[in-house]
């Protein structure tokens, strides 16, 4: 399987829309971060995780093409608001695309974008995106031939979907992990985990928290994602312990 980090940035991206790079070196291309998202390719299936505001550019960079499903980690704007661009994939594939998420996440998306889960009307040319709503719970999830495991994460204001595929797991937007989540992560070789900044934050893990989790879970490799502009790539590389690195947009991980 392959996991591609499409976006490694926090909700504002880096640089911020104001042009500020904060502590990030603007001359290092690894510091230019779009909103957090990954593409999972496993057992012949291509699965998007989230469709944030940068979805279109990210997907073009990853090679475009049909997809077999979209998992929504939660309903926040930085993970959802590129949703309208799915319509071009509907048009290309001439069918609805299944979306997976916790019930309350799909309900929130349906509230904000009330047209996306309506039955497709291809005779009108797919001018609106068309998604099938598939509520999920914790445990095993099959999308076509791909076998995934879903586990619950605490994001302070809501729960988010943790995803494990074989030896790789993706945990974005998380501030607390309970015993069940830590069990689901046990034995992963590579863990991509949200780390907004060095200091603690109300709804996101800071660096100390991530390193404490690393001691419990013991993965060979950790990639930090969902980073804001205080997280300069090269500075992090020189200060992080062995086996922990910042992710960057376009990073490909083989499992």
Could you say which of 50, 78, 108, 249 contacts Zn ion (CB under 5 A)? 78
Please identify which residue in the block is written with the tokens 């791909």. Answer: 146
Please identify which residue in the block is written with the tokens 């729960």. Answer: 159
Between residues 76 and 164, which has the closer beta carbon with respect to Zn ion? Answer: 76
CA atoms within 13 A on the CB side of 163: 32
Q: Does 54 contact Zn ion by CB under 5 A? A: no
Q: Does 204 contact Zn ion by CB under 5 A? A: no
Q: Does 173 contact Zn ion by CB under 5 A? A: yes
**Sequence-ordered strand ranges (E) for the chain:** 2-7, 37-42, 45-49, 69-71, 97-101, 131-135, 139-143, 146-154, 159-165, 168-171, 190-194, 221-225, 244-246, 252-254
Nearest-angstrom CA–CA distance, 205 and 175: 4
Question: Stretches 107-115, 173-181, 184-192, 242-250: which one binds Zn ion (CB under 5 A)?
Answer: 173-181
Q: How far is the CB of 220 from Zn ion (least distance, A)?
A: 26
Q: How far is the CB of 67 from Zn ion (least distance, A)?
A: 21
Question: Applying CB under 5 A, what is the total number of residues that bind Zn ion?
Answer: 4
Between residues 34 and 96, which has the closer beta carbon with respect to Zn ion? Answer: 34
8 Å CB contact between 164 and 181: no
Question: Stretches 55-63, 100-108, 130-138, 171-179: which one binds Zn ion (CB under 5 A)?
Answer: 171-179
Q: How far is the CB of 79 from Zn ion (least distance, A)?
A: 6
**Residue whose C-beta lies closest to Zn ion:** 76
Scored b (16 or more CB within 10 A) or e, 60-74 reads eebeeeebbbbbbbb
Instruction: Give how far Cα 195 sits from Cα of 117, 217, 226, Å.
Output: 32, 16, 6
Q: Is the peptide bond before 185 cis (omega within 30 degrees of 0)?
A: no
Could you say which of 30, 76, 159, 164 contacts Zn ion (CB under 5 A)? 76
Q: How far is the CB of 11 from Zn ion (least distance, A)?
A: 5
Binders of Zn ion among 86-145, rule CB under 5 A? none
Query: Which residues of this protein are in contact with Zn ion, per CB under 5 A?
Result: 11, 76, 78, 173
């Amino acid at each position: 399987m392959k996991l591609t980090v499409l976006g490694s940035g926090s909700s504002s991206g880096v640089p911020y829309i104001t042009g500020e790079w904060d502590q990030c070196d603007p001359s290092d291309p690894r510091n230019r971060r779009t909103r957090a998202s990954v593409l999972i390719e496993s057992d012949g299936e291509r699965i998007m995780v989230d469709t944030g505001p940068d979805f279109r550019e990210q997907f073009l960079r990853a090679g475009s093409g049909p997809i077999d499903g979209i998992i929504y980690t939660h309903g926040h704007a930085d993970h959802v608001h590129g949703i309208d661009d799915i319509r071009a994939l509907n048009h290309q594939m001439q069918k609805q695309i299944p979306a997976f998420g916790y019930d309350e996440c799909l309900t929130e998306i349906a509230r904000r974008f009330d047209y996306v889960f309506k039955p497709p009307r291809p005779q009108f040319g797919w001018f609106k995106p068309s998604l099938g709503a598939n509520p999920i719970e914790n445990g095993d999830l099959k999308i076509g031939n791909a076998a995934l495991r879903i586990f619950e994460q605490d994001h302070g204001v809501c729960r988010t979907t943790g995803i494990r595929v074989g030896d790789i797991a993706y945990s974005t937007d998380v501030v607390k992990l309970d015993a069940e989540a830590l069990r689901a992560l046990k034995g992963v070789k590579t863990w991509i985990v949200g780390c907004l900044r060095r200091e603690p934050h109300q709804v996101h893990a800071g660096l100390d928290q991530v390193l404490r989790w690393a001691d419990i879970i013991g993965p060979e490799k950790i990639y930090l994602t969902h980073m804001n502009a205080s997280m300069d790539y090269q500075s992090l590389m020189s200060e992080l312990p062995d086996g922990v690195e910042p992710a960057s947009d376009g990073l490909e991980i083989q499992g």
